[in-house]
Structure 1
């Protein structure tokens, strides 16, 4: 969430620096998609790493993994049918209202959207489709070029090394994910960005590291956005 808030602040407060990114382009930013899940993580220390939604999924378990709940190769490889598993895909595609909100935004922008970016942790990856199978899309070189622009900018600025590539090949399969859905819907560039690890459990960096992480992430996002503008100019 803090990365998104920092990005909003940069775009709003530093127009002169980022005018190229704003003059002809709209930025649609959702700081928190899983609002109920995020709220739950604030309640107690043992809830800090909760990742699913908070809608009951069975008599014993709660929640669905939103990034398995999209209707594109839904509940295939890398998605669980067990309501108690972390990667539970839900009883059906779009069982979660949060996924419906993202789906409707993607569909509403698909005819003009240029880049979709979902920010997760952890891993230092810039991942592109496909997530449902171990194969590259026909336009993988375009995806790779944009992703490497972001990775190169981060390395030059901070020394942090990101890997760029197909999500199934670099990390693991995840069918029903939002990045695959957006790419299939018409966004020519679609990524999941896995941010660096932090803290004893890797998902919870100390407060002292947050400022550096958000600034580093923004460097990569800006570089990717500039490359997208270069590759896909408006007619």
Structure 2
């Protein structure tokens, strides 16, 4: 899985990979609480895993994931380290620097895949796209979020069945559902205020109960997303 990870490659391997397809995959994530059952680096792990699979299919190199994401409503949850809303331009500046350098190194296309779905993150990436396209560039920029993929078999969420299934399909050892108390839950709103209560079994999980995880459905979700990512990267 790490055969295209630029941080593991020798220079001649980088040049060889880019000769096959001069494309750079850039995964974005965050450090966030996703419930007791999932790692705080989930966003970057899923984005990086999807980029690795896509690079295996199309070629190119994968950059190390950026674990700093923009503000979200769960910013005060434990082990959550996010940029403040007013600092989201830091992501834009980091990516502009990265893209400009990649362009100078002969990369012809960059695909940014964000595993962090916060509205502020999407706004920052829209600003990045606008700034990059405001002048002629030798490098084409494609920015993707799993939330934009059509016909998803599960609804996107935060730490719920969608994100849990996706990471399980990529790194099953990273998910431990036994960490969630085996307590029946009766509720009509999986995004309600009750999920902000630390005593709730699904504290910090905003979405469908991840304990309903079905490995076959998880793999279907991963494959559906990968097909879409690969097709978008070909444009």
> Which range, TM-score by smaller chain?
0.3 to 0.5
TM-score by length of 1: 0.38
